[in-house]
Structure 1
Amino acid sequence: MKVKEANIREIAEHLLCGNICFLNIVTGDFEYHPAEIDFFPDEENPWQEVIDQVENNWDDYIRIEPMNSNQSYTVMESFADQLEADGFRKKLLAALNRPKPFRNFNYLIHESDFRQEWFDFRQERNVEWVREQISDQVDA
């Protein structure tokens, strides 16, 4: 079964938003829900239908997790390494080697001219991440 490129890209976007995705290896469609859901005691889970769908058909799905912090750090480091702007590259690498590297990196990126370039780079790395996770079970 071949998974549509649009679905792979959309899964990658959902992962960046903190969701867990489930690819249906029979249909190529996917479901998702937030990785962490906090509710008040008597509140109904708005994602229960998705959770039930996946749990009741578990053999048809692949669970796709977001990158862990080490993997995300590596993506940030790779972005900095490939920059041609030597001064900004050095600032990013220095930020990654200080305490709270994610916050420091994001602060610099969001205050720079490289913001969109970072978003595009991160999205492509997440697309690759999705492909890696599903490649042994479907055609990606």
Structure 2
Amino acid sequence: HWENCVRIDPPKPGESFGIVERFILDCIPDDAGIKKRLWKAVSERKPFRNFKYVIDGSEYRQKWFDFRRIQLERLVTDYLNSLDIDALAE
């Protein structure tokens, strides 16, 4: 019953970058040395690759995955809430 499915596209690069920025702002303490490294990583060319390189070797790796999952779930929830599901079912 593919006609009853809703396609949800991945976030656009700007939305993904916003998630990364919110993570750095909200989840990394100001006194953590990694915060400066993360800001530097995302301000250069290939920000996502640089961010991944820095976060993967840190104690904040799992926190990043948890934060990202929650943010993506919110995007999906917001998108589904914006749809008129009753109209789609007709």
TM-score range, shorter chain: 0.7 to 0.9
The one-letter code of the counterpart of 2:59 is D
1:101 aligns with 2:56: no
- Matched residue pairs, number? 82
Q: Which residue of 1 aligns with 2:29?
A: 84
Q: Matches of 2:79 and 2:12 in 1, distance apart?
A: 13
Q: Matches of 1:81 and 1:91 in 2, distance apart?
A: 13
Q: Matches of 1:133 and 1:127 in 2, distance apart?
A: 10
* Higher-RCO chain (CA-CA 8 Å, sequence separation at least 6): 1
Q: Which residue of 2 aligns with 1:118?
A: 64
The one-letter code of the counterpart of 1:118 is W
CA RMSD of aligned residues (A): 1.4
Q: Secondary structure at the match of 1:123?
A: helix
| 2:73 equivalent among 127, 130, 135 | 127
Q: Matches of 1:136 and 1:72 in 2, distance apart?
A: 20
Q: Matches of 2:78 and 2:9 in 1, distance apart?
A: 11
Alpha-carbon offset, residue 70 of structure 1: 1.3
Q: Which consecutive residues of structure 2, in runs of 5 or more, have no partner in the other structure?
A: 86-90
Q: Larger strand proportion, structure 1 or 2?
A: 1
Q: Which consecutive residues of structure 1, in runs of 5 or more, have no partner in the other structure?
A: 1-52
Q: Secondary structure at the match of 1:78?
A: helix
TM-score using structure 2 length: 0.82
Identity of aligned residues (%): 34
Segments of 4+ moved more than 4 angstroms: none
Alpha-carbon offset, residue 136 of structure 1: 2.4
Q: Matches of 2:21 and 2:52 in 1, distance apart?
A: 12
Alpha-carbon offset, residue 91 of structure 1: 1.1
Greater C-alpha Rg: 1
TM-score using structure 1 length: 0.55
